[in-house]
């Protein structure tokens, strides 16, 4: 009887701990700049996870349009009211960043079959580096399936409309930045 009680007590402690465990995920990317497709994935992720860390790649090899600090600030501005989002710049291996932030799940958006090969390779490499980390793929709304940061920059550079492609905060910054670089 005493034994039964002990088991029951331990089970309830474990269930309590599991119920109270924060479901956390990391959503990594270059975000140069963040688009409405990224925002869509983040909003979908918030339905599954309690907290999402948006990990902004600081890659000295790539020549981004926006410096890392600005990419981080733009995302922070978009999610100012959303306390379950944290935006952090990272360099080095993604799996190390995920572990250092006590997470085990990586979210990636999958727009079309063309994304699959790169994502498949990256996921399996990350799994080889750390088998405890899982990657979860999410499809954005179909209206964003053609959208990418690179195309958005090109459209902006050639004077096209950015309506529905990026958040308003990003649209202004993008126009200013592209004007500056083409002076």
111 is catalytic: yes
Q: One of 9, 15, 23, 38 is an active-site residue; which one? A: 38
122 forms part of the interface with ligand PNS (CB under 6 A) = yes
Q: What is the 3-state secondary structure (H, E, C) of 24-85?
A: EEEEEECCCCCCHHHHHHHHHHHHHCCEEEEEEECCCCCCCCCCHHHHHHHHHHHCCCCCCE
62 is catalytic: yes
101 forms part of the interface with ligand PNS (CB under 6 A) = no
93 forms part of the interface with ligand PNS (CB under 6 A) = yes
Q: Determine the Cα–Cα distance for residues 183 and 177; give it in Å rounded to an integer.
A: 10
Q: One of 62, 83, 128, 180 is an active-site residue; which one? A: 62
130 forms part of the interface with ligand PNS (CB under 6 A) = no
Q: One of 23, 61, 73, 111 is an active-site residue; which one? A: 111
109 forms part of the interface with ligand PNS (CB under 6 A) = no
Q: Which residues contact 15 (CB under 8 A, 6 or more apart)?
A: none
30 forms part of the interface with ligand PNS (CB under 6 A) = yes
Q: What share of the chain is helix, strand, coil (3-state, %, to 5)?
A: 50, 15, 35
38 is catalytic: yes
15 is catalytic: no
Query: Can you give the binding site for ligand PNS, defined by CB under 6 A?
Result: 28-30, 57, 93-94, 122, 125-126
């Amino acid at each position: 009887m005493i034994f039964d009680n002990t088991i029951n007590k331990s089970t309830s402690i474990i269930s309590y701990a599991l119920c109270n465990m924060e479901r956390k995920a990391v959503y990594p990317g270059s975000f140069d700049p963040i688009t409405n497709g990224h925002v869509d994935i983040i909003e979908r992720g918030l339905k599954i996870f309690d907290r999402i860390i948006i990990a902004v790649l600081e890659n000295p090899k790539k020549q981004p349009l926006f410096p890392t600090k600005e990419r981080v600030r733009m995302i922070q501005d978009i999610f100012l009211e959303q306390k379950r989002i944290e935006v952090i710049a990272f360099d080095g291996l993604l799996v190390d960043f995920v572990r250092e932030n006590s997470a085990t799940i990586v979210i990636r958006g999958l727009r079309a079959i063309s994304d699959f090969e790169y994502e498949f390779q990256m996921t399996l490499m990350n799994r080889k580096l750390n088998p405890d980390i899982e990657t979860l793929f999410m499809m954005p709304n179909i209206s964003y399936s053609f959208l990418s940061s690179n195309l958005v920059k090109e459209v902006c550079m050639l004077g096209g409309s950015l309506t529905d492609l990026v958040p308003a905060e990003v649209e202004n910054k993008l126009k200013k930045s592209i004007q500056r670089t083409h002076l």
